[in-house]
Amino acid sequence: MHVRFLVPGNVRHGSGGNKYNAKLSEHLTALGGDVETVSVDGDWPVGSPADRQRFAEALDGGATVIADGLVASGAPDEVARAVGDGTKVWILSHMALAEHRELEAKALASATGIICPSAHSAAELVAKHGALDVVVARPGAASAGAGAGSAPKHIVSVAALLPNKSQTLLVEALSRLQDLEWTASLIGSHDADPAYAAKVRDAVEHHGLQHRITLTGELTGQELEDHWHKADLSVLLSQSESFGMVVTESLAHGIPVIVRQGTGAVEALGGTGAGAALDLNDPNNLAMTLRNWLTDPALQQRWRSNALQAREHLPSWDTTAATVLKAIT
């Protein structure tokens, strides 16, 4: 089966959406699909007339297309035209658009079908646009070696430095724990939003934490594995998150996770007991939870044991790809 996979060309940092797209393409191929990935340049999610024309040309002549929602949701006329001409167009909606509600609604209604990476993101679409027939294909997790941890305890936050990811909130919480021993790494692109990255750096320097909090930039491969190996706790504080693949990546390394309530990251953490989902409307909750964890060996052991147990039961990317393949076939 030939599948043309259209992905946005204007997201260049290691976003969860980009990683999901790459893994889905890889594992659809492993299951026998003939996958052609096409990066569509443009100022998405809407793009200029020339951008939308480029997208229309990428849709043309493909019997089955999976189009990332960041591209497709802002180009409903192009989706409708392609479907009318006989192309099956599935929109992979990682997260509902913050703006352009009418365009997104029209694109989703025109598509052959809709795929979401989590029940949380599917529910957000339905809440925004009414009843939709959505296929949920949760991300898989690659197997990984269990982290060894560090002394003192080492905390990691793996996400691009973006306002939505709330790294400044973590820095503020850690600044209140300077009487305890710990180190931390903020692992993610500084280029996605340079102004916010500067704000994070300024917060670290303002609290005199340069020797305890390291801003590594974006890491991949063995460099990232080295940081997972020495981590004791992972923190993902996104204000909105469709799933939060870094949560299952953490669990794959046997590392517990703190996430924000009300986001898809809660779905990723599930009922594992390997960490906590916090109400961060009260900013004291994060510092208090980190203090409890840092000072309570029994809590550390319980979260760690639960993470190691969850590690044995994580879904594979082949399962994700099989769900998508069944839907589009």
For the chain, give every domain's residue range: 2-140+317-328, 154-311
Q: How many CB atoms lie within 10 A of CB 135?
A: 16
Q: 3-state DSSP call for residue 146?
A: coil
Please, what sign has the CA dihedral across residues 18, 23, 24, 25? positive
Cβ atoms of residues 258 and 236 within 8 Å: yes
pLDDT for the residue numbered 280: 95
Q: What is the pLDDT of residues 287-300, one digit of tens each?
A: 999 999 999 999 99
Beta strands in 188-324 (DSSP E): 213-215, 233-236, 257-260, 275-278
User: What is the reported pLDDT for 262?
Assistant: 95
Which of 137, 108, 100 lies closest to 125, judged by CA? 108
Q: Are strands 183-187 and 154-158 parallel, antiparallel or unpaired?
A: parallel
Distances (CA, A) of 288 to 166, 177, 295: 17, 9, 11
Q: What is the mean pLDDT of residues 127-142?
A: 93
Residue 13: what pLDDT?
A: 63
Please tell me the distance from the alpha carbon of residue 147 to that of residue 28, in angstroms, as a whole number. 29
> Superfamily for 154-311?
Glycogen Phosphorylase B; (3.40.50.2000)
Smallest CA-to-CA distance from 233 within 160, 193, 173, 161 is with 173
CA distance 295 to 234: 17
Helix %, strand %, coil % of the chain (to 5):
45, 15, 40
CATH superfamily of 2-140+317-328: Glycogen Phosphorylase B; (3.40.50.2000)
The percentage of the chain sitting over the pLDDT mark of 70, rounded to a whole number, equals 98
Contact status, residue 132 vs residue 108, Cβ threshold 8 Å: yes
- Decide whether 2-140+317-328 matches 154-311 in CATH topology: yes
pLDDT at 12: 62
State the chain's mean pLDDT as an integer. Answer: 94
Contact 232, 203 (CB under 8 A): no
The per-residue pLDDT for 18 is 85
Of the candidate ranges 140-144, 202-206, 223-227, the one whose mean pLDDT is the lowest: 140-144
pLDDT at 254: 98
Render pLDDT for 206-265 as a digit per residue (tens, 0 to 9): 999 999 999 999 999 999 999 999 999 999 999 999 999 999 999 999 999 999 999 999
Q: 1-47: per-residue pLDDT in tens? A: 899 999 988 766 667 888 899 999 999 999 998 999 999 988 888 88
pLDDT given at position 275: 98
Of 41-55, 64-78, 170-184, 300-314, the poorest mean pLDDT is in: 41-55
Beta carbons within 8 Å of 254's beta carbon, 6+ residues apart: 146, 147, 304, 307, 308, 311
Phi, psi of 270, rounded to the nearest 5 degrees: 60, -150
